[in-house]
Amino acid sequence: MFTGIVAAVGRVTRVASQGGDIEGGVRLDIASGGLDLTDVQLGDSIAIQGACMTVVEFDNDHFVVDVSRESLNRTVGLDAEGDVNLEKAMRLGDRLGGHMVSGHVDGLGTVMKFEPVGESHELVVRVPADLARFLAYKGSITINGVSLTVNSVRDHQAGCDVSINLIPHTIEVTTLKHLRVGRKVNVEIDMIARYVERMATAPAAGNAEPAQH
């Protein structure tokens, strides 16, 4: 479990193919960029651009993860060298400064607008239509591992345009500064919204269809 509060911006320094063909995954070497690794152990989870990955090697200032082909197909930012948002899994007793984030990317969004507005930036991301029902004004959304607040939602046939205000601090300490119109981003919807939607749409216990044997 994560909070969506980025702890450091690291850098993918090496991408090595695994499996010997295009269907295989990759192994990433990541410079930690100041992320404290002193309490990290093999098998720990670290969110990379919002995607939960397992540490398979590490030392004082870098760590290694294996990324499956399935993960590569469902995310962006894990298949090439470059800057990445990093967050270690939260521990019991840690502050929940953002919101509850699983590290399981729900879909890819497209940057439709990224412009300065005063000292801040307005970011508009087009989210796939099947995720629209989980988004609401002043609700939470995770973009590339960053917990953000939804300022407005506009539904249309092509999807759902989500407007977000990015304060200067968020721009400074995350990879969101590199966004451009047309870029793809990793999107995770609020897990509480997912449970609420299920509760609202699931049939009542007495109305459920009998299981087929």
Rounded CA separation 196/141 (Å)? 15
Q: Judge whether residue 88 has pLDDT over 60.
A: yes
More confident residue, 80 or 19: 80
Q: Give ranges for CATH 2.40.30.20 in the chain.
A: 8-88, 107-200
Domain 8-88 adopts which CATH fold?
Elongation Factor Tu (Ef-tu); domain 3 (2.40.30)
pLDDT band at 95 (very low <50, low <70, confident <90, very high): low
pLDDT in tens, 137-147: 999 999 999 99
Which string of DSSP letters, residue by residue, matches 94-150?
A: ----S--B-S---EEEEEEEEEEETTEEEEEEEEPGGGGGG--TT-EEEETTEEEEE
Q: What is each CA distance from 213 to 110, 204, 206, 210, in whole angstroms?
A: 43, 21, 19, 9
Mean pLDDT of 189-199: 81
Three-class SS state of 23 = coil
Q: Which residues of 94-123 are buried (b: 16+ CB within 10 A; e: fewer)?
A: eeeebbbbbbebbbbbbbeebeeeeebbeb
pLDDT of residue 158: 85
Rounded CA separation 205/53 (Å)? 37
pLDDT of residue 100: 78
Number of H helices, E strands in the chain: 3, 12
Domain with residues 107-200, CATH architecture: Beta Barrel (2.40)
Q: Residue 166 in contact with residue 120, Cβ under 8 Å?
A: yes
Q: How many CA atoms lie within 13 A of 155 on its CB side?
A: 9
Query: Whole-prediction pTM value?
Result: 0.89
